[in-house]
Structure 1
């Protein structure tokens, strides 16, 4: 009987833990340890960045081919012209960094002849004309955007 009680308590604990896992907010999608919001509205890069911060996130940073392929697939599904990401070369032309962290971009997936070192094209986007490969675009363009934040469990980052 005690063994049955222990198993029952264990199952109850597992069910409670499963219910407590929040993952992503409604309208956001999860990939690995991050949640993403693909906007339906179009904004300039600066406006998109502010909106992401207001949503307790940042414009998306892409750290791997797997993450990039996930975002490309979602972009294809929604079919907007382009989606802003967090990358920029504002400070030094053709030295691409993630704006939120200042880290140099190490993984890339440039399309066409980009980055083309055009001084007016300082913001990074997934562009439909390149099959949602990366493009350096003028930050004043009004495009959709992708916000990213950590997946959480009761305010703690989800691991695994």
Structure 2
């Protein structure tokens, strides 16, 4: 019986450890089922995308008003001019898609008169002058960025 209790305790400890590991890493912020990193560094849209991939994440795809409000609040706190998001209309002008999944943007949070720069601006930002609502900007510009990593839900693995 003592051995069975030890195995049960070990199993519970491993499950609890797995739960901790699945949370956001240091410096990232949790909202719903994702972890976010609002960068302190700046990069072009393509560079930002690669940095996020190197961090095992992607540029953020904002799909709900709640998610947008969370990111706006964090952006206000950091007070940076602009943050790159995952959206682009590089393939077809004025057809905005998330590169992470190819889906058209359904939830929209454009600032006044945006998108407004046509073929010269094909990448999506949260723009400070619009209260961090969205704007289209030239992809070569250098801004801060938001990385997003989805967190596993209920996939605790028992090891051993």
Answer whether TM exceeds 0.5 for this pair. Answer: yes
SS of residue matched to 1:83: strand
Q: Distance in 1 between matches of 2:73 and 2:10?
A: 37
Q: Distance in 2 between matches of 1:12 and 1:89?
A: 51
1:1-150 superposed matches below 5 A? 17-21=15-19, 22=21, 23-150=23-150
**Hey, which of these two has a bigger chunk of strand by percent?**
1
- Give 1:13 deviation, angstroms: 6.6
In structure 2, what is the equivalent of residue 3 of structure 1?
A: none
TM-score of the superposed pair, with normalisation by structure 1: 0.85
Q: Distance in 2 between matches of 1:107 and 1:15?
A: 41
Unaligned runs of 5+ in 2: 155-160
Q: Which segment drifts farther, 10-19 or 58-67? A: 10-19
- Give 1:99 deviation, angstroms: 1.3
Runs of 4+ in 1 over 3 A off after TM superposition: 9-19
SS of residue matched to 2:119: coil
Contact 2:117 2:137 in 1 (8 A): no
TM-score of the superposed pair, with normalisation by structure 2: 0.85
In structure 1, what is the equivalent of residue 157 of structure 2?
A: none
- Give 1:122 deviation, angstroms: 0.4
Equivalenced residues, count: 151
